[in-house]
Amino acid sequence: MKTHKVLISKTRIQSRVKQMARKISSDYRGKELVLVGVLRGSFVFMADLLREISIPVEVDFIAVASYGNSTRTGGVVRLNQDLSSTITGRHVILVEDIVDSGLTLSYLLNNLKTRRPASIDVCTLLDKKDRRRARVPVKYKGFNIPDKFVVGYGLDYKQRYRNLPYISWIEEE
C-alpha cells in the first residue's frame, strides 16, 4: 500500500469549505439548524465547516459501520451510535466526508426522516458519482472525484491517514 500525490490541496479544501459554509449560513438564516456528522470520517470536515458558519448552529454525531477494513463497500450499514439530541421539527444537515455507493446516506436519510425533522439535507466534501448505487439528493458538495480510494482530511484506510491535511489517493498493489 502506497500513498500517492496530493489530489486536493489544503488550500483548495479551505476555500471550498468557506464557500459551502457561506451558502449554508445564508440558506438557513432564521432557522434552527443542526449539523449531524457521520462518524468517523466527517469529523475533520465538520470542525472546519462549523467554524465558517455564521448563524446559530448545533452539532450532533451519528456513527455507522459500512466498510470494515476494505476499500469496497459490503453494502451493509449498521447504526453504531445514535444521536444525543432530538431532531424533530428542526432543520438537519447530514455532514459526510464522501458519498460513494450512497448506501450509507440512503440508510441514514430513511432512518432520520422517521423522526420528522423540519427538513433534512446532505452536505458532503467529496462525491464519487460513478459508483452510486442508491439515489441520494446531495444539496452541498465540495468536489467531485474519480473512482479512486482516497485518504486524508478525516478519511482513512484501515484507520490510518486521517491526519493528512489534504486529500490523497492510494492504490492497491
Task: Give the interface with ligand IMP as residue ranges (CB under 6 A).
Answer: 38, 41, 66-67, 73, 96-104, 149-151, 155
Residue 120 interface partner, choices ligand IMP, Mg ion, none, CB cut-off 5-8 Å depending on type: none
How far is residue 139's CA from residue 152's CA, in Å, rounded to a whole number? 23
The answer to whether 121 is a known catalytic residue is no
Contact 100, 73 (CB under 8 A): yes
Cβ closest to ligand IMP, residue 36 vs residue 101: 101
Contact region for Mg ion (CB under 5 A) — 14-22, 31-39, 55-63, 111-119? 31-39
149 binds, among Mg ion, ligand IMP, none (CB under 5 to 8 A by kind): ligand IMP
Q: Which of 48, 97, 100, 127 is catalytic?
A: 100
Cα dist from 168 to 97, 105, 134, 161, whole Å: 13, 23, 25, 9
Pick one of 24, 35, 36, 41: the residue that binds Mg ion (CB under 5 A).
41
Nearest CA among 36, 47, 124 for reference residue 79: 36
| Cell reading at 62 | 451519528
For residue 40, whether the previous peptide bond is cis, meaning omega lies within 30 degrees of 0, is yes
Catalytic residues: 100
